[in-house]
C-alpha cells in the first residue's frame, strides 16, 4: 500500500482509511477484530486463521472476511496488521509482514526469546515501519490513574498481584512469560528505570512449567518491586500498590478502583481519597494509539525495544528452574495461594 515518510524516517500511513488485518482468530484476535471493525477511518480487511472453526467463529462474531493464510490477506492489500497468533509464531509472522512494508502491532510477549524479539525490532527499524507491542495494561484506565498519581513522586516500592485459575487452553509457556511479563513492563514503565537485579522463586504445583512465581526486583533507580503470580487461585485478582515517600497508592485493575493515602503526620494520621478513573476499553485505546502512530509515523506507546527488555527480564527469571511444590501441597486439595 502507498505510504509517505515522517520526519523521523518512519513510513506513515496513507490519508485515507487504514486497511488493517488481524492474524489469529483466537481469544485475543477475535477481540482485536471486534474493536477494529468499530473504529473510525479504519477498514478491517479480514482475519487470518488456519483453523476453519475459528474462521467461522470470527465471521459470526464480527461479520468480517476470513483467510486461511497470511498470503491471502496480504494479497487483499493491508497497511497494518495486528498479530494475535500463538507467541512462538510471532517472530515468523512479524518478519513476513515487515518484509512487505506492513506496519505491525504484535501481542505481548513480543516473541518467545530475546533473540527473536530483537530480530523483529531490527527488521522494523530497517524497513521503517511502525512496530508496537500489545502490553495492554498500559491502556487500563486504573493503571493510567496510578501512573499519574505517582508522577513526580519518589517511588520506593511496587507490589503487584496477578493471580487466577488455570487458563482453559494451556499454551507452551508458564506464568512468567504469560502473566508476569505484563507486570515487568508496568514496573519498568512506572519507574522509568531498568530492572537491574532479579530474584525469582518459581514452582510447578500442577503444570509442567512454572505455575507459581514470586519475583523480586531492584531497578537502577533503587526501587524494590515484587510480583506475585500464579494459576492456582480460584478467582482472578490484579492488584497494584505503590509506596512513594509521600503517598501509598492502591489500585484494583479489575474493579478499576484506585485509592491514595497521603499527608502522613507524625501522629500516624493521614488522608485518603479515591482517584478518578476513566472508562475506556483498554484494547480499544491501544489499537487507536497504534493506528495513530501508523498515521503520524510517531513513536508508538509501547516500543519493540521496551518489549524486548521485558522479555529479557522474564527470561532471566526463568533461568532459575522451577521446583515441584511441596509434596503436601500437591497431594491435598488445591489450596488458595493468591
Ligand X SMILES: NC(=O)c1ccc[n+]([C@@H]2O[C@H](COP(=O)([O-])OP(=O)(O)OC[C@H]3O[C@@H](n4cnc5c(N)ncnc54)[C@H](O)[C@@H]3O)[C@@H](O)[C@H]2O)c1
Would you tell me which residues interact with ligand X (CB under 6 A)? 23-29, 48-51, 54, 84-87, 89, 107-108, 134, 136, 169
Grid coordinates standing for 87? Answer: 507467541
For residue 234, what are the CA distances in angstroms to 195, 215, 337?
31, 21, 9
Closest separation in Å from C-beta 281 to ligand X: 12
5 and 125 Cβ atoms separated by less than 8 Å:
no
Instruction: Please report how close the Cβ of residue 28 comes to ligand X at its closest, in angstroms.
Output: 3
* Residue 108: CB minimum distance to ligand X, A: 5
User: Least separation, in Å, of the C-beta of 98 and ligand X?
Assistant: 16
With CB atoms as reference, the residue minimizing the distance to ligand X is: 26
* Shortest Cβ 219–ligand X spacing (Å): 23
Q: Minimal distance in Å, beta carbon 253 to ligand X?
A: 11
Q: How far is CA 237 from CA 9, 132, 251, 255, in A?
A: 42, 27, 11, 10
The smaller minimum CB distance to ligand X, of residues 155 and 302, is found at 302
- Report the candidate in 165, 169, 200, 163 with the shortest Cα–Cα distance to residue 182: 163
Q: Please, which residue, 134 or 297, has the CB nearer to ligand X? A: 134
End-to-end Cα separation, the chain, in angstroms: 49
Bridge partners of residue 46, in order along the sequence: 21
Nearer to ligand X, 48 or 249 (CB): 48
Q: Is the CB of 103 or the CB of 108 nearer to ligand X?
A: 108
What is the DSSP code (8-state) at residue 287?
H
In terms of CB distance, is 110 or 155 closer to ligand X?
A: 110
Q: CB-wise, 24 or 297, nearer to ligand X?
A: 24
Which residues, at least 6 apart from 131, have a Cβ–Cβ distance to it below 8 Å? 94, 98, 103, 104, 105, 106, 120, 121, 124, 300, 303, 304
Determine the Cα–Cα distance for residues 84 and 169; give it in Å rounded to an integer: 15
Pairing state between β 131-134 and 155-163:
unpaired
CB of 172 to ligand X, least distance (A): 11
User: For the CA atoms of the chain, what is the radius of gyration?
Assistant: 21
Nearer to ligand X, 134 or 200 (CB): 134
Amino acid at each position: 500500500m502507498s505510504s509517505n515518510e515522517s520526519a523521523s524516517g518512519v513510513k506513515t500511513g496513507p490519508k485515507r482509511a487504514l486497511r488493517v488485518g488481524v492474524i489469529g482468530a483466537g481469544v485475543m484476535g477475535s477481540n482485536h477484530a471486534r474493536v477494529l471493525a468499530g473504529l473510525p477511518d479504519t477498514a478491517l480487511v479480514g482475519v487470518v486463521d488456519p483453523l476453519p472453526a475459528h474462521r467461522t467463529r470470527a465471521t459470526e462474531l464480527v461479520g468480517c472476511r476470513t483467510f486461511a493464510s497470511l498470503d491471502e490477506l496480504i494479497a487483499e492489500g493491508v497497511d497494518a496488521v495486528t498479530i494475535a497468533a500463538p507467541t512462538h509464531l510471532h517472530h515468523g509472522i512479524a518478519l513476513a509482514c515487515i518484509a512487505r512494508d506492513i506496519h505491525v502491532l504484535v501481542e505481548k510477549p513480543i516473541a518467545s526469546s530475546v533473540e527473536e524479539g530483537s530480530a523483529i525490532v531490527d527488521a522494523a527499524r530497517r524497513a521503517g515501519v511502525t512496530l508496537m507491542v500489545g502490553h495492554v495494561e498500559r491502556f487500563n484506565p486504573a493503571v493510567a490513574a496510578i501512573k499519574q498519581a505517582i508522577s513526580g513522586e519518589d517511588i520506593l516500592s511496587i507490589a503487584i498481584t496477578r493471580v487466577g485459575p488455570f487458563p482453559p487452553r494451556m499454551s507452551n509457556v508458564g506464568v512468567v512469560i504469560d502473566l508476569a511479563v505484563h507486570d515487568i513492563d508496568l514496573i519498568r514503565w512506572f519507574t522509568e528505570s531498568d530492572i537491574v537485579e532479579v530474584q525469582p522463586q518459581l514452582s510447578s504445583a500442577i503444570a509442567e512449567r512454572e505455575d507459581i512465581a514470586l519475583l523480586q526486583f531492584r531497578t537502577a533507580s533503587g526501587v524494590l518491586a515484587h510480583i506475585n503470580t500464579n494459576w492456582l487461585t480460584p478467582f482472578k485478582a490484579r492488584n497494584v500498590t505503590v509506596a512513594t515517600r509521600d503517598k501509598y497508592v492502591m489500585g484494583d485493575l479489575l474493579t478499576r478502583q484506585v485509592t491514595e493515602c497521603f499527608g502522613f503526620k507524625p501522629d500516624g494520621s493521614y488522608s485518603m481519597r479515591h482517584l478518578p478513573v476513566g472508562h475506556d476499553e483498554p484494547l480499544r485505546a491501544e489499537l487507536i494509539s497504534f493506528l495513530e502512530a501508523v498515521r503520524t509515523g510517531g513513536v508508538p506507546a509501547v516500543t519493540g525495544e521496551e518489549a524486548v527488555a521485558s522479555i529479557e527480564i522474564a527470561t532471566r527469571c526463568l533461568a532459575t528452574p522451577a521446583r515441584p511444590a511441596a509434596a503436601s501441597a500437591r497431594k491435598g486439595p488445591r489450596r488458595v495461594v493468591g
